[in-house]
Amino acid sequence: MAKQVIPEGDRRRRRPTKQGEVLSEQAYIDTALRMLHEHGSNGLTARRLGLALGADPSTLYRYFSGMDQLTLAIGDELIGRALASWRATGDWRADLRELGLRIHGAYLNHPQAAVLTASRVSGREREIAADETILGVLRTAGFPDPAAARIYHVFIDQSLAFAALDAASLALPQAARQADEDKWESTYAMLPAESHPHISATADLLIARMKESAYPDALEMLLDSAASQLARLARMMSSKG
C-alpha cells in the first residue's frame, strides 16, 4: 500500500542533512536527475537517493507516495524546463516550432530521464501548463476546436515520441551507439545496386542524415499540414461570406 504523502506545509525540513541538503520535493527531483545521468534508471532507488541526500530512505515518502510519483515529477520537471522563459510571439507556426524544439531538447538534455518519463502522463502543474499553452496557440490562431485537439494530439505525441527515440540512442553506451551509427557506412553503403537499387542510390544521403534526429523535419511536416488546414478553412469561410 502506498504511503500517504504529508502536506507541503508539514513536510519541509528546514535544517540541512549531513550532506548539507535542505530537503524538499525539488531537492529529490534534482538529485534523481543527477543519479539517472550517472547510473541510469536501475540506479535510481529510495536507498540511493537517501544516501545522496544524507537522509533516511524513508524520508522520500514525506514528499512522494512512492518511486512512481517521483518519476512523474521528473517528467513534469523536464516539461517545466522546456517552457521556462518561453514567450509567445503571436506567430502560431513559429511558436509551435519553438515549443516543439524546446520540449525535444529538454528531454535530450537528460536522456536517461527521458527514456523513463516520455511515455508518462503526470497530470502535474507544468505538464498541464504546457498543454494549455499549446492548445492556446492553436485556438488563438483560428483552428476550430476539433482541429486544435487533433493537431495538439499529434504535436505532443510526436515531440515526446522523438524525444524517447533519440534519448534511447543517447542513453546507450558510447561504443554501442557508435557501432549503430557506423552501420550506415559499413553495411548500407556497401549493398550492391543490383540487389538493393534504392538503398544504393540514396546511400550517401542516408549516411549524411541518419546520424541526426529526424524530429526537426517531422515537426516542419506537421506544421505544413496544419498551415494547409488553416488556409483551407480560411477559403471556406471566405466563400461563405
Q: What is the pLDDT of residues 44-74, one digit of tens each?
A: 999 999 999 999 999 999 999 999 999 999 9
Which set of grid coordinates corresponds to residue 217?
A: 523535419
> What is the CB-side half-sphere exposure of residue 118 using CA atoms within 13 A?
26
pTM listed for this prediction:
0.87
How far is it, in rounded angstroms, from Cα 110 to Cα 63?
A: 22
Q: Do the beta carbons of residue 79 and residue 127 sit within 8 Å?
A: yes
Residue ranges per structural domain of the chain = 8-65, 89-171+211-240
DSSP 143: -
Q: Do the beta carbons of residue 112 and residue 37 sit within 8 Å?
A: yes
Residues 6+ apart with CB under 8 A from 138: 92, 96, 147, 148, 151, 152, 226
How far is it, in rounded angstroms, from Cα 150 to Cα 153?
A: 5
What 231-237 contacts at long range (C-beta under 8 Å, 24+ apart), as own/partner pairs, is 233/142, 233/143, 233/144, 233/147, 234/142
Confidence grade of residue 16 (pLDDT, cut at 50, 70, 90): low
Over residues 80-116, the pLDDT tens digits come to: 999 999 999 999 999 999 999 999 999 999 999 999 9
Which set of grid coordinates corresponds to residue 85?
A: 522563459
Q: Do the beta carbons of residue 200 and residue 191 sit within 8 Å?
A: yes
How far is it, in rounded angstroms, from Cα 66 to Cα 71?
A: 9
- Does 5 score more than 90 pLDDT? no
Give the CATH architecture of domain 8-65.
Orthogonal Bundle (1.10)
How far is it, in rounded angstroms, from Cα 95 to Cα 88?
A: 6
How far is it, in rounded angstroms, from Cα 38 to Cα 48?
A: 12
How far is it, in rounded angstroms, from Cα 143 to Cα 112?
A: 36
Confidence grade of residue 157 (pLDDT, cut at 50, 70, 90): very high
| CATH T-level topology, domain 89-171+211-240 | Tetracycline Repressor; domain 2 (1.10.357)
